[in-house]
Chain A
């Protein structure tokens, strides 16, 4: 399930008190999704008892953030059949390994983002993903071609 700033915002105190260092609760919510901020930085949420329920809900809601990779990509091995669709379609793979992955064959390099090993997909190097770094784009190609939803992204 995707984690959206809007859903987070709904559970924050919505007072725009700026204690977290952000101008608004909404921008704090955005930073949370990008993991540039931690929930604990919203001190009122933890100090004031009236927010207890919201706090619990938020902690639960944000749990997948900890399991996700830098780019927010989550792989659920138990749902993967190892078809290799994601490995073959990834535009970075096509560029770096045109005659291996890009041609549907065994990879000819280890400098890859995803790799099928023992029948399920594994993350090798997330730094290469187009969702990462300065010029990031919201690439969803791998996820779109996984029909069993073994790949998902935090932000949807």
Chain B
């Protein structure tokens, strides 16, 4: 079923924070499972038509990544929380290092792989 929100972009505040589940080993399954996440509160998700495990596209200053939605109270009310790591760094710039604005929408694709970002770095 096609959801209406598919066409909707929502402007949100993004907060970047550390997460205790992220291990030092960046090739591990745990790293990816815990870093490729966008946390949001239940109410926020409901209002904007997202649910747990949805893949969303987050765009800031022309750069986008796809992350998985996880419902959690640790996010603030009006936006999403992304753990410290390569995805957050890809989206940020120095004028909004740990807190910035972005647009989010439901995505068609898969979660962005770190290798895709590395390729862009090299390119």
A and B: direct contact (Cβ < 8 Å)? yes
> In residues 67-120 of chain A, which contact B (Cβ within 8 Å)?
81, 83
Q: Return chain B residues, CB-CB under 8 Å to A81.
A: 20-21
CB-nearest residue of chain A to B74: A147
Consensus secondary structure, chain A interface = loop
List of A residues within 8 angstroms of B20 by Cβ: 81, 83
0/1 string, B20-55, CB within 8 A of A gives 1: 110000000000000000000000000000000000
Q: How many residues of B contact A (CB 8 A)?
A: 2
Contacts of B21 in A (CB 8 A): 81
CA gap between A83 and B21 in the complex, in Å: 11
3-33 of chain B: CB within 8 A of chain A = 20-21
How far is A124 from B68 in the complex, measured between Cα atoms in Å? 36
Q: Which residue of B lies closest to A148 (CB)?
A: B20
Measured in the bound complex, the distance between the Cα atoms of B21 and A81 in whole Å is 7
A24 to B20, CA, bound (A): 48
Chain A residue nearest to B72 in the complex (CB): A148
* Chain A stretch 42-90: residues in CB contact (< 8 A) with chain B: 81, 83
Which A-chain residue is minimally distant from B73 (CB atoms)? Answer: A147
- CB of A150, distance to nearest CB on chain B (Å): 11
Shortest Cβ gap from A120 to chain B (Å): 11
The chain A residue with its CB closest to the CB of B19 is A81
CA distance A152 to B21 in the complex (A): 20
Task: Report the bound CA distance from A81 to B20 in whole Å.
Answer: 6
CB neighbours of A83 from chain B (8 A): 20
Q: How far is the CB of A52 from chain B (nearest CB, A)?
A: 31
Inter-chain CA distance A2–B56, complex, in Å, is 32
Query: What distance in Å separates the Cβ of A38 from its nearest Cβ neighbour in chain B?
Result: 34
A108 to B20, CA, bound (A): 26
- Pairs A–B under 8 Å by Cβ, sample size 3: A81-B20, A81-B21, A83-B20
Question: Sorted from nearest, which 3 A-B pairs have the closest CB atoms?
Answer: A81-B20, A81-B21, A83-B20
